[in-house]
């Protein structure tokens, strides 16, 4: 019996799994980024690798090398987990994982992968990441922000980072766009931060329209991309003692960076 077969619920035959995958795609649209192996040669996107797979591999390698203990001993928070690929992969290696996602369409895909792989050590919750606090979700060894920070508006940037830091005991992994040519600044907690504002959706967009914008913010029509110096400063301000920019991978845009922050 293969590793995947051992994890796979017996009730989910290959045909049933493929059928349920097709039903979700018909209802909510196909997977947009997260190519998750489901077992028996099936993946959510029907390919073996894509750019997001390479990003996941960098994340797994970085956390394994810096966490100070095995992945199976970690508790991990995956903020704005989208279709669940990071949560699923860390859970597959034994970590206890909590994924937070605001859109039900994405959550259905994440929970489908969880069921397909028979994983009991990952939970997905529908919530706005700006609501997170340690009273609700607890503390974590690692906090992942793989594509959410630049979807936060200016006023919530520092409070969001502070709340995430309050829940983080060791590492924060941030994959984000930054402002290469900042043209705005704001003041928070007596500090000045620079960056660029950008439009997520029209101010009059309906709830139904926003629910289908799977790669956009959910409530704030405008978001803010911090400059790299401001991001370093913000992370140190909320409690991290060291921050570093990781080497780029193939196809990574010029304004997209991965920052590892350590307590």
Averaged pLDDT in 10-residue chunks for the chain of 263 residues:
43 82 94 92 87 96 98 98 98 98 97 94 98 96 98 97 98 98 96 97 95 94 98 98 97 97 98
Instruction: Quote the pLDDT of residue 41.
Output: 85
Strand partners, 177: 256
Best CA proximity match to 146, nearest among 22, 49, 34, 67: 34
The bridge status of strand 222-226 relative to strand 191-199 is antiparallel
CB-based contact 67:142 (threshold 8 Å): yes
CATH number of the domain to which 219 belongs: 3.40.50.150
Q: How many domains does the chain have?
A: 1
Best CA proximity match to 4, nearest among 95, 118, 111, 121: 118
Q: Does 8 fall in a domain? A: no
Q: Does 30 fall in a domain? A: no
List the domain range (segments joined by +) for residue 77: 51-262
Residue 42: count other Cβ atoms within 10 Å of its Cβ: 15
Q: Does 32 fall in a domain? A: no
Dihedral over Cα of 259, 236, 178, 170: its sign = positive
Q: Does 145 fall in a domain? A: yes
- Tokens at residue 151, please? 């979807």
* 113/2 Cα distance (integer angstroms): 18
The size of the chain, in residues, is: 263
Q: Does 15 fall in a domain? A: no
CB-based contact 171:141 (threshold 8 Å): yes
Q: Does 7 fall in a domain? A: no
Q: Does 134 fall in a domain? A: yes
Q: Does 143 fall in a domain? A: yes
The bridge status of strand 168-177 relative to strand 140-146 is parallel
Rg (CA), the chain: 18
* 112/129 Cα distance (integer angstroms): 21
CA 204 to chain centre: 27
Instruction: Quote the pLDDT of residue 12.
Output: 66
Return all residues near 251 (Cβ < 8 A) that are at least 6 apart: 51, 54
């Amino acid at each position: 019996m293969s590793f995947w077969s051992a994890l796979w619920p017996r009730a989910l035959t290959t045909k049933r799994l493929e059928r349920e995958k097709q039903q979700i795609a018909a209802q909510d649209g196909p997977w947009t980024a997260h190519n998750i192996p489901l077992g028996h040669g099936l993946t959510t996107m029907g390919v073996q690798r894509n750019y997001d797979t390479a990003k996941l591999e960098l994340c797994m390698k970085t956390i394994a090398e810096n966490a100070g203990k095995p992945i199976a001993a970690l508790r991990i928070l995956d903020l704005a987990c989208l279709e669940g690929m990071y949560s699923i992969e860390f859970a597959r290696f034994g970590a206890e994982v909590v994924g937070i996602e605001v859109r039900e369409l994405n959550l259905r895909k994440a929970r489908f992968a969880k069921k397909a792989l028979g994983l009991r050590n990952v939970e997905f919750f529908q919530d706005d990441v700006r609501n997170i606090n340690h009273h609700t979700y607890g503390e974590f060894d690692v906090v992942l922000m793989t594509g959410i920070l630049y979807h936060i508006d200016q006023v919530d940037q520092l409070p969001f980072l502070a709340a995430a830091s309050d829940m983080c005991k060791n590492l924060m992994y941030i994959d984000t766009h930054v402002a290469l040519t900042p043209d705005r600044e704001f003041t928070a907690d007596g500090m000045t931060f620079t960056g660029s504002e950008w439009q997520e959706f029209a101010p009059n967009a309906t709830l139904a329209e926003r629910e289908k914008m799977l790669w956009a913010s959910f409530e704030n029509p405008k978001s803010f991309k911090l400059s790299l110096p401001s991001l370093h400063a913000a992370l140190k301000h909320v409690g991290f003692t060291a921050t570093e920019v990781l080497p780029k991978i193939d196809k990574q845009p010029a304004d997209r960076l991965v920052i590892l922050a350590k307590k």
